[in-house]
Amino acid sequence: MARIKPQTLLLQSKKKKGPTRISVTTIITCNLIVVLILLCLVATYRHWSQRSRNQQEEHDLPNLLIINTSKGLITVELYKDGSPEIVDKFIDLCQKGHFKGMPFHRVIKHYVIQGGDHQRVGSAEDWTSKGKPGNQFTISPKHEAFMLGTSKTKPDSKGFELFITTAPIPDLNDKLIVFGRVIKGEDVVQEIEEVDTDEHYQPKSPIGIINVTLKREI
């Protein structure tokens, strides 16, 4: 039997131990898988980061509103949970200075004081035709005196009607969205309520909001 030369055995060993070639398709597939994994990780990170920021923003939303009027300060607690969309819009308008210098253009004694868009249909002046509420009505806690609300009419309007009740008004349940209550400064509300008005419930002397301040706590 012929003996195999050592050089031939060495060549055969190198051929057996040589690296296996990887196809281009396999390389591309592996790279795509890696890219997809990275994209998923980035998307997950962004999702949880955004969620964390949103939760933080909700937690940091102001709870209180201080209305500086020409008669004094009125502190209002906002109902964020009860009317979140209204409160969000209201806070946004406050931050833009929408209510700065706004007059109370209607004052109805033992009823409401009103500021905002006085041209809008369904104003407090029209509501008085229904008469003052009597004992036969069931009064919701949200419609007691010293509640902060806005009209339900034309919710898409850029304007914003602002009402502070000065007496229980159950007959406005279908017209008024309550989103806060006065917790300090009831005497200021009553002082505004007592100003002299004309036959259209418009104050004879200018009275209104100097500015508003949003706070998280007293």
Q: What is the pLDDT of residues 34-81, one digit of tens each?
A: 888 999 888 888 887 776 565 554 446 688 999 999 999 999 999 988
CA pair distance 121, 117, nearest whole angstrom: 9
- Least confident span in 23-27, 104-108, 125-129: 125-129
Q: What's the CATH fold of domain 64-215?
A: Cyclophilin (2.40.100)
| Predicted TM-score (pTM) of this structure | 0.65
Kindly report the average pLDDT of the chain as a whole number: 78
pLDDT at 194: 94
For residue 11 the two structure tokens come to 């060549």
What digits encode the pLDDT tens for the residues 124-157?
A: 555 555 444 444 444 455 578 999 998 876 555 5
Going edge to edge, which strands form the sheet with 162-165? 104-108, 112-115, 162-165, 147-151, 176-184, 72-78, 64-69, 209-215
Q: At 174, phi and psi to the nearest 5?
A: -85, -5
Which of 87, 86, 71, 64 shows the shortest CA–CA distance to 212? 64
